Structure 1
Amino acid sequence: MANNPYIPTTVEIISIRPESEVDYTYRLAIDLDVDNGQFVEVSIPKVGECPISVSDFGEGYIDLTIRHVGKVTNQIAHLEVGDKLGIRGPYGNGFPIEEYRGKDLVIAAGGTGLAPVKSIINYFYRNSKEVNSLTLLLGFKNPANILFADEIAKWERADHINVILTVDEGDEDWTGNVGLVTDIVDRVDFDNVANRSVVIVGPPIMMKFTSLEFMKHDIKEEQIWVSFERKMSCGIGKCGHCKMDDTYICVEGPVFNYTKAKNLVD
């Protein structure tokens, strides 16, 4: 008998780390063969199921950065270390790491869009010789909503990583950049444009206009990758909830080259 693809594996929460007032990173004890940018379906019996991007992974664990804003995620907020969650996946296509090797890579992330690309950043943080340079454009609503603050500080200390951080709205203690991610694109070094690869993840409007901003600097469409966040209920292309035009985001995405992504509309 074939295995039922809808049956989750029960896994234990081994740590919980607060990132903001509503965002928490849950480390789960499970070995998964994950590609950077893939997602899993997370479930609680009698409550429901939701798709969550894998924000990092390693031997014996995956990290899920979860915002407590919905039925399932609000219930997850009541769980503690040692409690269990249902996991199935991983699903979808991730970022093509091989395309970025030897390149001047730029990763632009808005808000929770940093979670799906965090594992890529950490990969090239650990393997600095595999990328020519790495520039991070990170935007958040305000200082209180900055995710992964400790890791951002770690990336800032790396010689081969240029971190440019901005917030939409500062406060009395904020001395950094104020503005949208699109406002800091021109701070990227665009010498040798042909050797650039660009990854952009965030709200759809942010990805659209950030992509256009890069293209003003002669970055070609095929040099840009984006990732869509959708209500991917089944994860295997059966339910149709994530379908855009004739494309099932859960199967063909969530990562797309811009040449494909630009034609995906609701």
Structure 2
Amino acid sequence: MNTAVEKRKINPYLTHKAEILKIFKETEVEYTFRLESDFNLNFGQFLEVSIPGYGEAPISVSNFTDEWLELTIRKVGKLTDKIHELQEGDHLYLRGPYGNGFKLENYRDKNIIVAAGGTGLAPVRSLIEYANNNLDDFSDFEVLAGFKNAQSLLFERDIKRWRENFDVLLTVDQTCDIWGECVGLITEHIAELHLDNIENTEIIVVGPPPMMKYSIIEFQKLGVPDDQIWVSYERKMHCGLGKCGHCKIEDSYVCVDGPVYNYADVKEIKD
């Protein structure tokens, strides 16, 4: 067994020094960093990412293989500003992985609809990529992705590949020229869906809280039961270990019990 992996399993506080293999510029403020990795990951999990002297933050894993992982990081403060200054060959410090992800057994042989808003596409990107390479594992697969404007579009290179295998609807909040795509909030386009075989359909909703709230309402209007809707609550995570209490919502620690939940289990909790 790899010694570094064994140590991380024994002591979740230990960090792992990882080399940056490649950097992809997604937008002016969002870069994707590909790092060497021997982590045992699941879709939708996150890592604690740090640079000594600059701090630490929880970041969702946006894609992974057995040899590397990718983190899509927005430039929003001291730590992330410094990360955006790094080059290929530099290093980040990682600990984890943490959290409850999207377990494949919940979605296998089902009709899957992923509704993602903005950077909410990052936590589900690895699952979408898996579907792109393993379509036979699903009855159907569809993605709805909403962005503020064309300049905030993420993973354009991936979306072009995904569209070769399944439907990907892009919509922007503001009028603009973006591949001739839809304009308007993602909730407007959920309402236009005609769902067949609802009992074999699973819905995944990830994005800003208002987008998630009203997207779920639209799916409910279409007759989707609450226990067939899955959400990822991420915005309050901090330590990753359920120790700091920053992410506690009623009796649930999001970084431990989540960030992925079945909506039926959390629909009554008040954030």
The TM-score bracket by the shorter chain reads: over 0.9
Q: Distance in 2 between matches of 1:145 and 1:15?
A: 21
Question: Does 2:121 correspond to 1:114?
Answer: yes
Q: Distance in 2 between matches of 1:173 and 1:56?
A: 25
Aligned pair count reads 264
Residue matched to 2:218: 213
Structure 2 residue corresponding to 1:14, chosen from 17, 21, 25: 21
Question: Does 2:78 correspond to 1:71?
Answer: yes
Q: Distance in 1 between matches of 2:179 and 2:195?
A: 28
Residue matched to 1:188: 193
Alignment CA distance shift 1:5-1:165 (3 Å): same
Alignment CA distance shift 1:3-1:217 (3 Å): closer
2:150/2:178 contact within 8 Å kept = no
Residue matched to 1:31: 38
CA shift at 1:203, angstroms? 0.4
Q: Distance in 2 between matches of 1:226 and 1:103?
A: 17
User: Which region of structure 1 is more displaced relative to structure 2, 99-108 or 173-182?
Assistant: 173-182
Structure 2 residue corresponding to 1:240, chosen from 229, 245, 251: 245
1:53/1:116 contact within 8 Å kept = yes
What SS is found at the alignment partner of 1:25? strand
What do you get for the CA RMSD once the two structures are aligned?
A: 1.5
Residue matched to 1:142: 149
Residue matched to 2:228: 223
The residue type paired with residue 175 of structure 2 is G
CA shift at 1:173, angstroms? 6.0
Structure 1 residue corresponding to 2:133, chosen from 112, 118, 126: 126
Q: Distance in 1 between matches of 2:172 and 2:18?
A: 36
The residue type paired with residue 98 of structure 2 is Y
Question: Does 2:268 correspond to 1:263?
Answer: yes
Residues 211-260 of structure 1, C-alpha deviations (whole Å, 9 max, x = no match): 11000010000000000113322211111111111110000000000012
Q: Runs of 4 or more off by more than 3 Å in structure 1?
A: 1-4
CA shift at 1:172, angstroms? 5.0
The residue type paired with residue 16 of structure 2 is T
When the two structures are superposed, what TM-score results if normalisation uses the length of structure 1?
0.96
Structure 2 residue corresponding to 1:253, chosen from 255, 258, 261: 258
Residues 48-91 of structure 1, C-alpha deviations (whole Å, 9 max, x = no match): 00000000000211100000112211110111111111100000
The residue type paired with residue 40 of structure 1 is L
Residue matched to 1:105: 112
Q: Distance in 2 between matches of 1:66 and 1:263?
A: 31
Residues 176-234 of structure 1, C-alpha deviations (whole Å, 9 max, x = no match): 21011101113333111111100000001111110110000100000000001133222
2:20/2:90 contact within 8 Å kept = yes
User: Which region of structure 1 is more displaced relative to structure 2, 144-153 or 3-12?
Assistant: 3-12
Q: Percent identity?
A: 49
Q: Distance in 1 between matches of 2:251 and 2:178?
A: 48
The residue type paired with residue 195 of structure 1 is N
CA shift at 1:170, angstroms? 2.6
Alignment CA distance shift 1:6-1:214 (3 Å): same
Residue matched to 2:58: 51
Alignment CA distance shift 1:156-1:245 (3 Å): same
What SS is found at the alignment partner of 1:87? strand
Residue matched to 1:203: 208
Which segments of 5 or more consecutive residues in structure 2 lack a partner in the other structure? 1-6
Residue matched to 2:3: none
CA shift at 1:96, angstroms? 2.0
Q: Distance in 2 between matches of 1:14 and 1:183?
A: 40
The residue type paired with residue 155 of structure 1 is W
The residue type paired with residue 168 of structure 2 is V
CA shift at 1:3, angstroms? 5.2
Question: Does 2:183 correspond to 1:178?
Answer: yes
